[in-house]
Amino acid sequence: MKIDKNLWILIFICVINSLGFGIIVPLLYSYGKKFGINEQTVGVLTASFSIAQFFATPLLGALSDKWGRKPVLVISLIGTCASFVMFGAARSVIMLFAARILDGLTGGNISVAQAMISDTSDNKDRAKKFGLLSSAFGFGFVIGPALGGLLSKFGLQFPFYFAAGIALLGALAAAFLLKETNTKSDKEKKDAKPFIFSSIITALKMPVIGTAVFIGFILTMAQFVMIIGFQTFSVDKLKLEPTTIGLLYAGFGVTGILMQLCVPLFEKIFPSKAVILLWSTVLCLGAMVLAGFMTALFTFIVCIYVYGLFNGLRNPMLNAIIANHNDEERQGEILGVNQSYASIGQTLGPIAAGLITAVSIHAVFFLSALLILIGFLLTFRLKRKEQQNA
């Protein structure tokens, strides 16, 4: 696949954007403690971002259909920059919440970037490009936490200002280097249907798209259940040091990136994206079930890394399926709806994991496996709907 200049610039923007997010997330609790944030309220603080993103992301996607991708992406990155500055300069809990909500409201850069990929690709190479984009985001998330830890030595506020700086760099790169991919005429953009929030619900009624969006929600929730289980099991059962846990988690992220880069190979082997998703989900399910029985470090990490590998195929496949069955004039909106449900999955996963730990730490992995099983069964429906709409 020949990668165009615009795609490389977009990948660069995605790396530095996710890098900024990865830098600040591990520091939210320790920084928030200065303002009275505790174990319970840090969850609410984290959820405020996801809830704001749930409502804003499809709106920003729809605006990118109407105004163009580039201006919406620039505005989104500037909003992220401003939110990090607000967080670093905060003097109260209210300021912390305002900063996270602002970041959620302007956090539509993921879906806009996906829409730009969809604009410039066809059904044959769309999944490959989505895989590269997912790898770019994953790379930032992997190295971000480690960098945040290093930067915190200069003060807890410093990483937030650094994250603001690289978000601004992304905004400048988007403004001056990126080419607009929504090439519809001004009249076509003006005549585009206005966004209505009911599309968050009506999108689920679309035969192929709705099923793919819901599978993405379920599997995202399963992933974030697993992440909580990974953290609690590593600390409470394996008694690992924070540095070791960080390295192991980075390795988990790398496995997903490696698999996303192998998307073209899987597309040559398997007849459809739904079939790739089906088999990858089976392997993720097996890995989670086995992880629930593990007590030794090596076998536990093998299960987690096998899960990380094949979970890496989820987003490229689902995003490509959604884009392939979507109207061109609604790419930003529907991909935004997909990201909205993913953000809720990221919120509900840790909450569900926290509740199930009252039973046992091992039960967290079985809960993740149950969610994956639901996603696996829904994949049969997705495959059937794809065949009906072919």
Q: Is 84 helix (H, G, I), strand (E, B) or coil?
A: helix
Looking at the fold, whether 131 and 226 belong to one and the same domain comes out as no
What is the domain count for the chain?
Answer: 2
pTM above 0.75, yes or no: yes
Residue 336 in domain: yes
Question: Could you tell me if 58 and 149 lie in one domain?
Answer: yes
Number of residues that this document lists for the chain = 390
Residue 58 forms part of a structural domain: yes
Task: Tokens for 385, please give them.
Answer: 């709907």
Instruction: Tell me if 187 is assigned to some domain.
Output: no
**Structural domain for 337, as ranges:** 203-390
Q: Is residue 358 part of a domain?
A: yes
Task: Report DSSP letters for 212-259, one per residue.
Answer: HHHHHHHHHHHHHHHHHHHHHIIIIIS---HHHHHHHHHHHHHHHHHH
Per-residue pLDDT of the chain (390 residues; tens, 9 = 90+): 455 778 888 888 888 878 877 787 767 777 887 888 776 677 678 778 888 888 888 888 888 888 888 999 999 999 999 999 998 998 888 999 999 899 888 876 778 888 888 888 887 788 888 888 888 878 877 788 778 878 888 888 898 899 899 989 989 999 999 999 887 766 565 656 656 666 778 788 888 999 999 999 999 999 988 987 887 888 788 888 766 776 787 788 888 888 888 888 888 888 888 999 999 999 999 999 999 999 899 999 999 999 999 998 998 899 889 988 887 777 778 888 888 888 889 888 888 887 887 788 899 999 999 999 999 999 999 999 888 876
Could you tell me if 269 and 390 lie in one domain? yes
CATH number for 5? 1.20.1250.20
Contacts of 235 (CB under 8 A, 6+ apart): 245
Within 8 A by CB and 6+ apart from 220, the residues are: 341, 342, 345, 346, 349
| ∠ Cα 58 201 77 (to 5°) | 15
Domain stops at, among 178, 193, 213: 178
Evaluate whether residue 192 is within a structural domain.
Answer: no
